Structure 1
Amino acid sequence: MDATSTALEAFSSSSPSNSSKHWKYDVFLSFRGEDTRKNFTDHLYCTLKDNRVNAYIDEKELPRGENISEELKQAIEQSRISVIVFSNRYADSTWCLEELEKIMECRSRGLGQMVLPIFYDVDPTHVRKQTGSFAEAFKTHEANFPEDNDKIKRWRSALFEAANLAGGNLKNIDGYEGKFVEKIVAEITRKLNNTCLHVATNPIGIDSHVKEVSNYLRVGGSDHDVRIIGILGMGGTGKTTIAKVIFNEFERSFQGKSFLSEVRKGDMVKLQNKLLCDILKPAKIKVTSVDEGTKKIKDKLGSVKVLVIFDDIDEEQLDKLAIKRESFGPGSRIIVTTRNERVLKILEVDGTCSPQTMSDKEALQLFCWHAFTEDHPNDEDYLELSKKFVEYCRGLPQALEVLGSYLRKRTKREWKSALKKLKRKPHRKIHEMLKISYDGLIDDEVKAIFLDISCFLIGMNKNYVVTILDGCDFDTEIGIGELHDRCLVSVDEGNNLIMHNLLRDMGREIVREKSPDITGKRSRLWDPEDVKEVLRSKSGTEKIEGLTLDLQESQQDSFSAEALEGMQGLRLLKLKDVNFKGPCKHLSKKLSLLCWPECPLKSMPQDFIQRNMVDIDLSRSRIEVWKDSDVALEKLKFLNLGGCNRLKRFPDFSKLPNLKKLILQDCKNLSKIFHSIVQLKNLEYLYLADCKLADRAIPEDLGGLSSLRVLDLRGNAFKGLPTLSHLSKLQTLQLSNCSKLLAIPDLPTNLEILQADECIALEKMPNFSEMLRMRELHLNHSPKLTEIIGLEMSLYSMTRIHMEGCTNLTAAFKEAIIQGWSANGNGGPFLPGNDSPSLLRRDKPKVEIISCLPFPKFVL
């Protein structure tokens, strides 16, 4: 690095900036016209203008000895940087010395004005010490101003002080003026652009995210690699704030930099021009069409090391802005903020930062800074109200900022009124901010899926929701995938659909806005008061696609069944403790979900069960007779009649060919399983617990249930069971509290969980020697059980065995178990000083074998 570069960088890192002061000019040029006006200074001025630097240059050539004008003094005062071009005869001009004195005076005021000395064909020592040509000039001045010695001293002092500042020397780059001008302009623009992007005064909770992105920027392969980093999240999570902090921290390390804000909704040609001009600086590169701009970016930026932030971008802008690694020079860093994860997949980013919602503590601090300009209100009432608003925002930074600012300087009564209003209607600014992601959905079907989830299906299993909405003729899997990509919905560890409360409220407000005054014309109804109003007035129309109403017992109300007849567009209907007077005839033929636990109807009206239904839940209802549909219910996947104690006539299962889950538990009138059940080739879950199933109540050929994964027979009165070994996909068998059960027959070898606690009559177990996938065995309190043949062969796959209360197990069986653990390479028993030996298996998770004495407790 040459001396000029070092000096200019020292200039760039020195001199405080004062972003609060308004500067009229970026640069003031001080020079001696006769020396440099038509060459160096003109080149410098033109290059500054090309780089969009607002430079002031005095075009006048005043007679020798004339004092500088008030206009010129004001120009110096209003310029952020003064560039002094010291030439060989600079000091000959009293005009220049007057300018210099004014420049140094302004600098001394500490208002953030900067001074950059440039030594053009002159030795800095001559300027500093006033020797050489500068000595000759001062001899003349001292002769011309014999009575004004103070003025001469001020000029000398100004020269000395200015020459000691970091600057540039033409001689240090071998006299190449073009290169010299480029270096000067680069440092000037760097310093001017070093006015940091505005970041929130109190950016609470972003430090960890900034650190994460910083690590992605630094860590990687070669220093010449181009790295692309993504910042992903729903609206309002602070993505732009994080990007601004990163830009402010790193921008000086790059040849070119640009921060393109709100790319998604910006004018593309303007964005292309800004990107090109920010990085290339000579503003003569100007494009007039998107195609031209894309080509220019590819052609011109491929050799420049850049830092570029593309803020709030979507798929449509990627190609237009040529966002790909080969578009930018070696060592470049590209950061994109987006609400659409697919953008990051297309770019194959090197790292993704996904800012989450804030903790309660951070959220309260951020809210209070905006509401009170401090992190904690002194008034206890305001503190309690603040906590309620924070709870409403659920850690979303922008919502906290919006509401905090909105409530600043308002009374407690106004705060309480605002909180009450938020429960009915979201804040408009927050709503619009979040709605951007919804508006970005171009498929009306995906929008419908989002509205269904936000109104009815939050917290439900994703696979279940896919099945229900597929029944509405939606392509739900890809629809939810798009919603997930756009951060409108997420999936938790249990595969349940999760949505931020404010996104939920945004979706519901979209529904309300479509028909703000006529409730019966809204597409979805979820608010109890709205639903009751529509049912009472019978004002529901075919526009209603979904409705839910859950009345507490104390609020039970009756409605006319006719209120449902107008809703022929209903796809989703969820009712609880709702009673209708009269027969519920002519339900919508579009119904996919009918969830009506504790239904008060004793019999189902004609056409109550529709062919489009996917899930029917009539659990704990008063229905006595199931009336089969005239046609097979091809779409029905879930049927829940659990707890229907009055049900005497059960469904003909042959008409439910695609049923996946059947719940008949606690049906006290169910004493026999109808043979038609074996035709359910797609059934995966069968719950028959706590019925009155005795011997021969279960069909012998259950092997027909070829897809069955879970069979629940708890609490029944049978003594024996049919052979279950043909259920090749069965994973869980539940037999607990079958107090008369004497023997468990042959089991499928792929069984993983067997629960048979409290089977007090159980004497015989099947051979376990081939049960090599068994993970859990629960046989608590089976006192007649003496052994389980072959159990030692299946121990390797076990994670838990419970045999408390198995008091008659033989010594040979217990010895075989201990040897079985040892044979599997798990070491011998460890006796910790009591009767309960422990075995430690180092190659698998903790396993517990628990039994009352004389069979000891094993912890493996």
Structure 2
Amino acid sequence: MDVASTALAASSSSPPSSSTEPWKYDVFLSFRGIDTRQNFTDHLYWTLKDNGVNAYIDEKDLRRGENIPDELKHAIERSRISVIVFSKGYADSTWCLEELEKIMECRRARLGQMVLPVFYDVDPTHVRKQTGSFAQAFRRHEERFREDKDKVQRWRYAFTEAANLAGANLRNTDGYEGKFIRKIVDHITRKLNNTCLDVATNQIGIESRVREVSNYLNVGGSDDVRIIGIWGMVGLGKTVVAKAIFNKFHQRFEGKSFLSKVREGDMVKLQNQLLCDILKPAKKKVRSIAEGTKEIKKRLSSIRALVIIDDVDCHKKLDELAIKRDSFGPGSRIVITTTNAHFLRILEVDDTYFPPAMSNEEALQLLCCRAFTERHPSDEEYLELSRKVVEYCGGLPLALEVLGSSLCKRTKREWRSALRKLKRKPHGEIHEKLKISYDGLIDDEVQAIFLDICCFFIGMNKDHVTAILDGCDFDTLLGIGELHDRCLVSVDEGNNLMMHDLLRDMGREIIREKSPGIRGKRSRLWDPEDVTDVLITNSGTERIEGVTLDLQGSHEPSFSAEALKNMQGLRLLKLKGVKFTGDCKHLSKRLRWLCWPGFPPEAIPEDFNQPNIVDIDLSHSCIQVWKDSDMPLEKLKFLNLGYCDRLKQSPDFSKLPNLEKLILQGCNSLSEIHHSILQLKTLRYLCLADCNLTDEAIPEDLGDLTSLEELDLRGNLFNGLPNLSRLSRLQSLQLTNCANLRVIPDLPTNLEILQADECIALEEMPNFSRMLCMRELHLNRSPKLTEIPGLDKSLNSMTRVHMEWCINLTADFKDAIIQGWSACRNGCLFLPTNDFPSWLRSVDTKGEILGCAPKFSVLNEKL
């Protein structure tokens, strides 16, 4: 940074605190007319004007009197920058000295004025000490104002104070005035652009978020051009964080630009703004997007700049703004805020920051600042009402600010009324702002997927939902990917689809708005009151694509199955605790998802022909026999008949050829599993837990199910198992509480989890020396087990081994296992404590031995 920049930086201060008047002028020029009016100062003035700087210059050639008029005082007070042109005759003019005194007085009064001394062919030391040509001038003033020595002393002090500011010195440019003026104007225009962006002073939690983004930016840490994305849903505070980042760092860059609302902006105007913000000197404006892109690449590639692109929604706009690393000079930093992560990946940003939702405490403070102008209301009832609003907002700053402002100065009764209304209908302003992301989905199919998730699938497994909606002829994986990129859905650690409550309400309101008065004409029904009304009045139409109703625990009357007759567009049906009279022969043939736990057996039609069905859940029903369709249900992938405890025989699986997931848990009246199950070559998950199955009930060729990944056989009565070693994709086998099981035969070597707790008759295990993928082994309470051959060879992959209460394990086996475990240090080993090796307590000090129960201890290496 050269002296001019240093001067401006050193002399800057906060915006006016003692006056609410806005700045009227950008620059006030203080100069000695005889010395510089017709040359240097005139050139400086017009160059400033050409660059769009509103400069004030005293147009009169000669002023009479000793005191400057109020007109000049006001001009000084209302100018952001005062430029003092120190020429050889500057101190000869009492007028100039009065101006200088007023300028420095404003600076000291912290009115926000910046001061730039310009040393025009004079030595700054002579100005500072009033020597050289200035000494004689001050001697004359002291003689003239002999009776007012304080005046001259104030002038001397102002001279010294101004000269102590780093300034611009003509002699440092070898006397070339044009070059000198250009440098002064360039720094003035840059400084005028240093105004901090408007960020509310009571923003809660902003500092921690800015700190995290600052770590990504690493300003000054390298000369690389770094591009950082700030990605999150509408209303999460991305723009506020970006503004705070700009305010914190903009003075450390040669050029800077904050482009707001790029999503809705005119691209040519934005290109001109970017060029103007960074270059400042007057230039011909670009007239087309192509010209602007070319000009940005050409003119900005050598400038170290901070550029913030706020609220951009597509990669094309970034291309048009030439947002690439080679478009800006070394050390530049580019920050992009967006609700769309897809183009951040295309751009290959260096890091992406996802602002977290506000904590409950932060949210409460922000709401209260808007509603009560304080962080916590003193009234306990208002505080409790505020907490309910915070709960509704889910940590979203947009909602907190909008509702806080709308509830300001409202009575408690009005607060309670507003909360009741929010349960029925989202706040209009919040809805419209959140809807921007939905409107950005140009694909009708992706919009439909979003609305389906809003109403039916929040909290469900992503892969399961994908299969159901694929059956609706959607490209679901691509659609969910776009929704995730646009922050309309998220996927949790368990691979379940999640969504912010306000986004859910926004989606549901979109549906309601299309038919506000006629419920039966809405595409999806989820509200119990709406569904009940449609079923009672039989007012459903073919426009209805999905229905969900949960009446468990209520005493609602039963409905006629005829109410479903007119819903021939129905794709998704989820009912719980709902009673119908008559059979469901009128169910739509477009049905893909039937989730009806407790399905009344009398409602099953004789010919359950649903050619498009993908998922059937009739768990907890009283059905005794599965009625096979005349036509195969070729699209059916998921069948859940769990806890149908009257079911006597399983379906004929040859009619369900593409089944991927089968649940028969708790069907304890089953005598056997139909042998056609072996034809299910796509079956990945099979649950036969708690079915009281004996050896004869399980097909001997179960190992033919080569696609099986999870097999759950808990709580059954068999003594042994068929050979499972051919199940090459099996990852998890559950045998817990199989009390009669004596032998576990060979297992597939790719198995990762074996759960066989409470197998009290278990005596023999297979050889584990080749079980190199095993992560978890659960054999708690197997008292007859003495050893597991080869287990010490497979410990490297394991994170947990549970063998508590296996009280007959041999000493040699335990010794080998403990030594092997202490060497691999992978996780937790649970063993009975009797006959523990004496050396155990001298294992590596990073390990721990914990007495977790009277009969076992743990060798624990923390991960």
**TM-score, scaled to structure 2:** 0.89
Instruction: Give 1:762 shift.
Output: 4.7
Q: Which residue of 1 aligns with 2:15?
A: 18
Q: Distance in 1 between matches of 2:138 and 2:548?
A: 94
Q: Deviations over 1:623-657 (max 9, x none)?
A: 23322223222221110111223334542201111
C-alpha deviation, 1:341, in angstroms: 1.4
Report what 1:313 is aligned to. 312
1:702 to 1:273, Cα distance in 2 relative to 1, 3 A: same
Name the aligned partner's letter for residue 610 of structure 1.
Q
| Per-residue Cα deviation, 1:377-412 (whole angstroms, up to 9, x for no partner) | 111111111111111112122222222222121111
Whether the 8 Å CA contact 1:684–1:710 is kept in 2: the answer is: yes
Equivalent position SS for 1:554: coil
Alignment of 1:781-796 (within 5 A): 781-782=781-782, 794=794
Tell me the residue number matched to 1:274: 273
After superposition, where does 1:215-226 map in structure 2 within 5 Å? 215-218=215-218, 223-226=222-225
C-alpha separation between the residues in 1 aligned to 2:791 and 2:96? 102
Distance in 1 between the 2:858 and 2:15 partners? 73
Change (3 A) 1:329 1:283: same
Q: Are 2:27 and 1:30 aligned? A: no
- For 1:780-836, what per-residue CA distance to the aligned partner results, in whole angstroms no more than 9, with x for missing partners? 5555556655555555555555555556x47xx542453465478849999999744
Q: Which amino acid aligns with 1:343?
A: F
Alignment CA distance shift 1:849-1:688 (3 Å) = farther
Q: In 2 relative to 1, CA 9–857 (structure 1 residues): closer, same or farther, beyond 3 Å?
A: closer
Q: Deviations over 1:253-292 (max 9, x none)?
A: 1111111111111111111111111111023231111111
Q: 1:818 to 1:559 in 2, by over 3 A?
A: same
Secondary structure of 2:696 counterpart: coil
Instruction: State the AA in 1 paired with 2:258.
Output: F
1:749: how far off? 3.8
Q: Is 1:323 the counterpart of 2:323 in the alignment?
A: yes
User: Residue 376 and residue 805 in structure 1: after superposition, are their counterparts in 2 closer, same or farther (change >3 A)?
Assistant: closer
- Return the alpha-carbon distance in structure 1 between the equivalents of residues 320 and 272 of structure 2: 12
Query: What letter is aligned with 2:812?
Result: E
Q: How does 1:638-657 map to 2 (within 5 A)?
A: 638-648=638-648, 650-657=650-657
Partner of 1:6: 3
Structure 1, 482-491 or 119-128: larger mean CA deviation: 119-128
**Match of residue 255 from structure 1:** 254
Deviation at 1:107, TM superposition (A): 5.1
Matched, 1:659 2:659: yes
**Structure 2 runs not aligned, ≥5 long:** none
Report how far residue 119 of structure 1 moved. 2.9
Aligned to 2:577: 577
Q: Secondary structure at the residue paired with 1:715?
A: coil
Q: CA deviation at 1:106?
A: 5.1
**CA–CA distance in 1 between the matches of 2:720 and 2:122?**
110
- Give the aligned residue type for 2:279: L
Q: Which has the larger displacement, 8-17 or 820-829?
A: 820-829
> 1:701-780 to 2 correspondence within 5 Å?
701-762=701-762, 764-768=764-768, 770-780=770-780
Q: CA deviation at 1:764?
A: 4.8
Q: How does 1:460-499 map to 2 (within 5 A)?
A: 460-499=460-499
d(CA) in 2 for partners of 1:249, 1:617: 56
- How big is the shift at 1:368? 1.6
State the 1:333 CA deviation.
Answer: 1.3
* Equivalence map 1:430-469=2 (5 Å): 430-469=430-469
Judging changes above 3 Å, is the alpha-carbon distance between structure 1 residues 725 and 205 closer, same or farther for their aligned structure 2 residues? same
Counterpart for residue 604 of structure 1: 604
Amino acid of the residue matched to residue 312 of structure 1?
Answer: D
Q: Does 1:161 align with 2:158?
A: yes
701 and 59 in structure 1: CA distance in 2 versus 1, 3 angstrom threshold: same
CA-to-aligned-CA distance 1:598-626 (integer Å, 9 cap, x gap): 11233521554412111100001122332
Residue 627 (structure 2) pairs with residue 627 (structure 1): yes
Match of 1:283 in 2: 282
Listed one character per residue, the Cα deviations across residues 52-72 of structure 1 (whole Å, up to 9, x for unaligned) are: 221122334457779866544
2:202 partner letter: N
Correspondence list, 1:820-839, <5 A: 822=819, 826=823, 835-837=835-837
Cα distance in 2 between the residues matched to 1:796 and 1:90: 85
Distance 1:139 1:734 in 2: 103
Q: Cα RMSD over matched residues?
A: 3.5
Code of the residue aligned with 1:356 in structure 2: it is P
Seen in structure 2, the aligned counterparts of structure 1 residues 583 and 117 have a Cα distance that, compared at 3 Å, is same
In structure 2, distance between residues paired with 1:136 and 1:796? 91
Distance in 2 (CA, whole Å) between partners of 1:129 and 1:819 is 88
Structure 2 CA distance for partners of 1:591 and 1:439, relative to 1, 3 Å = same
Q: Is the counterpart of residue 234 in structure 1 residue 220 in structure 2?
A: no
Aligned residue in 2 for 1:360: 360
Instruction: Tell me, in whole angstroms, the C-alpha distance in 2 between the residues paired with 1:219 and 1:72.
Output: 42
SS at match of 2:83: strand
Pairwise CA distance, 1:851 = 11
Distance of 1:59 and 1:106 partners within structure 2 = 22
What is the CA–CA distance in structure 2 between the aligned matches of 1:531 and 1:830, rounded to whole Å? Answer: 53
* Separation in 2, partners of 1:788, 1:128: 91
Matched to 1:542, the amino acid is: E
The alignment status of 1:44 with 2:44, answered yes or no, reads yes
Residues 753 and 273 from structure 1, CA distance in 2 versus in 1: closer, same or farther, beyond 3 angstroms? closer
Amino acid at match of 1:627: K
Matched residue SS, 2:711: strand
Q: Quick check: 2:685–2:711 contact (8 Å CA) kept in 1?
A: yes
Q: Does the CA-based 8 Å contact 1:800-1:848 persist in structure 2?
A: no
Q: Please list the CA deviations of residues 186-211 of structure 1 after superposition, one character each: whole Å capped at 9, or x if unmatched.
A: 44334433331111212221222212
Report the Cα distance in structure 2 between the residues aligned to 1:761 and 1:116, rounded to whole angstroms: 92
- Structure 1 residues 161 and 822, CA, compared in 2 at 3 Å: closer, same or farther? closer
Pick closer, same or farther for the CA change 1:299–1:650 going to 2, 3 Å. same
Q: Which amino acid aligns with 2:205?
A: G
Q: Offset of 1:152 from its aligned partner?
A: 9.6
Work out the CA distance in 2 between the residues paired with 1:468 and 1:130: 87
Moved more, 212-221 or 638-647: 212-221
Tell me, in whole angstroms, the C-alpha distance in 1 between the residues paired with 2:446 and 2:593.
Answer: 19
Give, in angstroms, the shift of residue 586 of structure 1.
Answer: 2.1
Gaps of 5+ in 1: none
Question: How many residues are paired up?
Answer: 848
- Greater Cα offset, 629-638 or 754-763: 754-763
2:730 and 2:612 map into 1 onto residues whose CA distance is 29
Q: Structure 1: which amino acid aligns with 2:46?
A: C
C-alpha contact (below 8 Å) 2:796/2:824 kept by paired residues:
no
Distance 1:110 1:830 in 2: 70
Give, in whole Å, the separation in 1 of the partners of 2:833 and 2:620. Answer: 53
Q: What is the rounded CA distance, in whole Å, between the counterparts of 1:344 and 1:30 in structure 2?
A: 50
Deviation at 1:96, TM superposition (A): 4.7
Q: Distance in 2 between matches of 1:746 and 1:851?
A: 32
CA distance in 2, matches of 1:851, 1:745: 31
Alpha-carbon shift at residue 81 of structure 1 (Å) = 2.6
Paired with 2:727 and 2:682, the residues of 1 have a C-alpha distance of 12
Report the Cα distance in structure 2 between the residues aligned to 1:33 and 1:823, rounded to whole angstroms: 93
CA contact (8 A) 2:822 2:844 kept: no
SS at match of 2:482: helix
SS in 2 for 1:553: coil
Contact 1:658–1:680, Cα closer than 8 Å, also in 2: yes
Counterpart-to-counterpart distance in 1, 2:716 and 2:698: 11
Query: Cα 1:685–1:842, aligned 2, differ >3 Å: closer, same or farther?
Result: farther
Structure 2 residue identity aligned to 1:717: L
Greater CA drift, 770-779 or 613-622:
770-779
Q: How does 1:56-95 map to 2 (within 5 A)?
A: 56-61=56-61, 71-90=71-90
- Counterparts of 1:102 and 1:793 in 2: how far apart (Å)? 87
Structure-2 residue corresponding to 1:815: 812
Q: Are residue 388 (structure 1) and residue 385 (structure 2) matched?
A: no
Measure the CA separation in 2 of the matches of 1:156 and 1:280. 42
Q: Answer whether contact 2:806 2:831 (CA < 8 A) is retained.
A: no
Structure 1 counterpart of 2:295 = 296
Deviations 1:133-188 (A, max 9, x none): 66777899999xx7x86789747743651453023332333212123223322443
In 2, the alpha carbon distance for the partners of 1:198 and 1:422 equals 31
Provide the C-alpha distance between the structure 1 equivalents of 2:546 and 2:714, rounded to a whole number of angstroms. Answer: 36
